[in-house]
């Protein structure tokens, strides 16, 4: 078990990581999700022992390892850049940590071939990394981390430099790899979709703070505050300042929104209502969907989906709709908002009711 106890990192009098409490269990997959400069890499460096916290402590299996050098910890790291030995074969790259550890030849061969099979590298063991594709090079780096049999495996945006197809392949493979190890895995990403695909647990980060930590799908569906909801939204979260009055949310001169069942208990008054772009649509898919009149600003067609940028009573929204929708700017259209998925936040930004699953 890895524990951060009020661990903080200051540089030039400013917090890079605010005092943080975090516990990661053995055999768990943990995603650090946040934009660039949110603190993901800084937090991983504290976990690994590459940096020492300015205050607080780091514990592993109950032992205080705050001052223990990274070389004396059983840690493996994988970065977004491919870090392999170019003059060595794939086999020798994977075997290198085992040779350093003094393992016998039979153990090395067994572990290398096991990792290579798991990451689909068996046909390439006699080749050098520079003769491989980017995805195969990154698999080699992952395999080398796995054979180390580390207690803590840290991956800092390991798929960021790969093309779309390779990223998708590895995103599917990684949870299977994690499931077969008893190590603690920590995976940093800027992409909410990647966190959802990987599953496990997610810690959302903003400006050096962990805003929420828990099972990934729970953090996504029930964000504790507006910062977390925005962090876990791609395309960006839609929101609107409204006033709850009985069974309706009102916004200036609009017809208003019906208050869904899961939000009826909240008090009357100002509230920020938020929802994801895919909860807007062109048709009424459920009885709970509210019909709204909006004006199109621009349509972006990605192929199988369209991002339709809308203006609703002076507020800008994005609708993610399946299919191709090429709509002229400044066109008035009716859209339907599935109110079952509305989230509500108070003036302090904290969630005041949970959205339906």
- The per-residue pLDDT for range 272-331, each reduced to its tens digit, is 999 999 999 998 888 888 999 999 999 998 888 999 999 998 899 999 999 888 899 999
Rounded Cα gap, residues 83 and 121, in angstroms: 16
The listed range with the strongest mean pLDDT (133-142, 149-158, 207-216, 247-256) is 207-216
**354, 262 in Cβ contact below 8 A?**
yes
Query: What CA–CA distance (Å, rounded) separates 326 from 316?
Result: 18
Which positions ≥6 away from 14 have C-beta within 8 Å?
A: none
Q: What's the pLDDT score for residue 353?
A: 67
Helix axes 105-118, 90-100, angle to 10 degrees: 130
Per-residue pLDDT for 354 more than 70?
no
- pLDDT tens for 96-117 read 999 988 999 999 999 999 889 8
| pLDDT at site 182 | 76
Q: Name the residue with higher pLDDT: 297 or 255.
A: 297
The rounded distance, in Å, linking the Cα atoms of 309 and 298 is 5
Mean pLDDT over the full length of the chain: 90
Check residue 196 and give its pLDDT.
Answer: 92
Quote the tokens at residue 226: 């507006």
Evaluate if residue 356 carries a pLDDT over 70: no
% of the chain exceeding 70 in pLDDT = 96
Looking at CATH, the fold of the domain delimited by 238-353 is given as OB fold (Dihydrolipoamide Acetyltransferase, E2P) (2.40.50)
- pLDDT tens-place string over residues 174-201: 777 766 777 899 999 999 999 998 889 9
Q: What angle do CA 196, 201, 205 make, to 5 degrees?
A: 85
In the sheet that 152-156 helps form, which strands lie side by side, from edge to edge?
75-79, 152-156, 184-189, 29-33, 201-206, 209-215
Confirm whether 2-231 and 238-353 share one CATH topology: no
**Alpha carbons 109 and 107: distance in angstroms, whole number:** 5
Question: What counts of helices (H) and strands (E) characterise the chain?
Answer: 8, 21
| Contact between 263 and 346 (Cβ < 8 Å) | no
pLDDT, tens only, 22-61 = 999 988 999 999 999 999 999 999 999 999 999 999 999 9
Q: Rounded distance, CA 266 to CA 337, Å?
A: 20
- Where on the phi/psi map is residue 121: left (φ > 0), alpha (ψ -120 to 50), or beta? alpha
CA of residue 257 relative to chain centroid, distance: 31
* Residue 259 DSSP symbol: P
Cβ atoms within 10 Å of 92's Cβ, excluding its own: 18
Both tokens of 75, joined, read 């840690």
164-179 vs 134-147: helix crossing angle, rounded to 10: 20
DSSP annotation string for 49-65: TSS--SEEEEEETTEE-
Which of the two residues, 286 and 169, has the higher pLDDT score?
286
pLDDT digits (tens, 9 = 90+) for 62-90: 999 998 988 888 898 888 777 789 999 99
The whole-number average pLDDT for the span 120-133 is 92
CATH number for 2-231 (one of 3.40.50.300, 3.90.1150.10, 3.20.10.10, 3.40.50.970): it is 3.40.50.300
Under 8 Å between Cβ of 309 and 324: no
For tokens 């290398």, what's the residue? Answer: 112
Cα separation, 229 vs 218, in Å, equals 11
Q: Determine the average pLDDT of the residues in 227-240.
A: 93
The residue with tokens 């970065």 is 79
Q: Which residues pair with 65 in a beta bridge?
A: none
> Which whole number is the average pLDDT over 264-275?
93
Question: Which candidate, 88, 60, 54, 53, places its Cα nearest to that of 74?
Answer: 60
Mean pLDDT, range 146-150, rounded to an integer: 83
- Helix residue spans in the chain (DSSP H): 40-48, 90-100, 105-118, 134-147, 164-179, 192-198, 216-221, 226-231
Q: What is the pTM of this model?
A: 0.86
Tokens representing 160?
């960021």
Extract the tokens encoding 217: 């799908």
Q: Where are the domains of the chain?
A: 2-231, 238-353
Identify which of 329, 337, 246, 331 has the alpha carbon closest to the alpha carbon of residue 285: 337
- State yes or no: pLDDT of 17 exceeds 80: yes
Which value, in Å, is the radius of gyration of the alpha carbons in the chain? 24
Proportion of the chain above pLDDT 90, given as a percent: 62
């Amino acid at each position: 078990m890895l524990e951060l106890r009020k661990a903080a990192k200051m540089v030039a009098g400013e917090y890079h990581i605010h005092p943080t409490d975090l516990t990661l269990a053995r055999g768990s997959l943990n995603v650090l999700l946040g934009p660039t400069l949110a603190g993901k890499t800084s937090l991983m460096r504290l976990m690994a022992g590459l940096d020492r916290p300015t205050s607080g402590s780091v514990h592993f299996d109950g032992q205080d390892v705050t001052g223990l050098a990274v070389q004396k910890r059983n840690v493996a790291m994988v970065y977004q850049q491919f870090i392999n030995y170019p003059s060595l074969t794939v086999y020798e790259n994977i075997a290198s940590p085992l040779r350093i550890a003094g393992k016998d030849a039979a153990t090395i061969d067994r572990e290398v071939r096991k990792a290579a099979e798991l990451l689909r590298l068996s046909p390439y063991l006699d080749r050098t990394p520079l003769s491989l594709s980017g995805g195969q090079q990154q698999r080699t780096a992952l395999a080398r981390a796995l054979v180390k049999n580390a207690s803590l495996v840290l991956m800092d945006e390991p798929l960021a430099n790969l093309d779309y197809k390779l990223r998708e392949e590895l995103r599917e493979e990684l949870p299977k790899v994690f499931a077969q190890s008893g190590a603690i895995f920590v995976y940093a990403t800027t992409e909410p979709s990647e966190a959802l695909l990987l599953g496990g647990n997610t810690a959302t980060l903003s400006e050096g703070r962990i805003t929420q930590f828990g099972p990934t799908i729970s953090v996504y569906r029930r964000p504790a505050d507006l910062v977390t909801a925005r962090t876990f939204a791609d395309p960006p979260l839609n929101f609107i300042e409204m006033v709850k009055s009985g069974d309706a949310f009102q916004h200036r001169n609009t017809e208003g929104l019906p208050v869904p069942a899961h939000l009826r208990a909240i008090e009357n008054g100002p509230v920020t209502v938020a929802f994801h772009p895919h909860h807007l649509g062109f048709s009424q898919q459920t009885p709970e969907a509210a019909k709204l009149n909006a004006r199109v600003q621009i349509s972006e067609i990605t192929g199988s989906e369209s991002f339709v940028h809308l203006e609703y009573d002076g507020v800008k929204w994005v609708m993610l709709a399946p299919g191709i929708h090429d709509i002229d700017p400044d066109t008035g259209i009716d859209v339907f908002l599935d109110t079952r998925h509305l989230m509500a936040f108070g003036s302090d930004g904290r969630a005041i009711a949970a959205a339906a699953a």
